Amino acid sequence: AQKITQTQPGMFVQEKEAVTLDCTYDTSDPSYGLFWYKQPSSGEMIFLIYQGSYDQQNATEGRYSLNFQKARKSANLVISASQLGDSAMYFCAIARAGGTSYGKLTFGQGTILTVHP
Amino acid sequence: DADVTQTPRNRITKTGKRIMLECSQTKGHDRMYWYRQDPGLGLRLIYYSFDVKDINKGEISDGYSVSRQAQAKFSLSLESAIPNQTALYFCATSDRTGTAGKETQYFGPGTRLLVL
């Protein structure tokens, strides 16, 4: 079974500062993918960034980057230059990359990020 | 127009009623999923379908059933609704990209369901 742990129920950051949202995972699969999603107060789920377990480099997408430490089983999301619109719930998720159930996502409980002006 | 649509967006029903939530997608993806989200929890998988003839139970399928009417349509039914099925329901789709584990899921806007 796969598991995602997000230990920060809530985080606060000043506008224009960087913030790191923690995510640790547990899996016995040798190959997997890690995803981050953003859920604003309006409720929709927005895909942010993906990291493959065999990717040599940390993923980046604009102001989002992923600090992937495979040995520690962590995949922390870094948001640079925070904006007020970044205030939302953020979910980390994992998908196995093999077997009959590959592609299914297992989510963490989420971290609420609040950006202060 | 949105790629993944869900109807209705909001629904109030009574205990014991049968209801159906519908999902349609124009992304051309083979795979579709139904999740529920409860306050303070992440999303949990109810059912998933990798193609029209392949439907599988997720971690919390009890009390739910699904129908994949076509590649683009995946419906979730609550046969006899109960109050603890009050939640936010999401439909999602993904495409087999050929890169194992990189099947990014794209979500619909969600359906807020209240069971009285």
Give residue-wise pLDDT tens across range B26-39: 999 989 999 999 98
Q: What percent of chain B has pLDDT over 90?
A: 76
Residue B95 has pLDDT above 90, yes or no: no
Q: What is the mean pLDDT of residues A19-33?
A: 93
A41: which DSSP letter?
A: T
pLDDT of residue B13: 96
B16: alpha, beta or left? (left if phi > 0; alpha if psi -120 to 50): left
State the average pLDDT over residues B81-102: 84
How confident is residue B105, by pLDDT bands cut at 50, 70 and 90? confident
Residues of chain B in contact with residue A91, where contact means CB-CB under 8 angstroms, are 42-43
What percent of chain B is modeled with pLDDT above 70? 93
Tokens of A6: 């997000």
Calculate how close chain A gets to B90, using CA atoms only, in Å. Answer: 9
- Return the pLDDT at A97: 73
Average pLDDT over residues B53-74: 94
Q: Tally C-beta pairs within 8 A across A and B.
A: 73
Q: What pLDDT is stored for residue A92 in this prediction?
A: 97
Of A52, A93, A106, the CB nearest to B102: A52
Residues B92 and B4: beta-carbon distance below 8 Å: yes
Burial of A56 from C-beta contacts in 10 A (0-12 / 13-18 / 19+): exposed
Task: For residues A28-42, give the mean pLDDT.
Answer: 92
Burial degree of A6 (CB within 10 A; 0-12, 13-18, 19+): buried
Contact A77, A49 (CB under 8 A): yes
Taking CA–CA distances from A40, the nearest residue in chain B reads B109
Residue A30: the pLDDT is 85
* A113–chain B nearest CA distance, Å: 14
What integer best gives the mean pLDDT of chain B? 91
The answer, yes or no, to whether residue B101 has pLDDT greater than 70, is no
pLDDT band for A31, please (50, 70, 90 cuts): confident
Percentage of residues in chain A having pLDDT higher than 90: 79
In chain A, % of residues over pLDDT 70: 95
Top residue of A37, A54, A105 to mutate, by most chain B CBs within 10 Å, is: A105
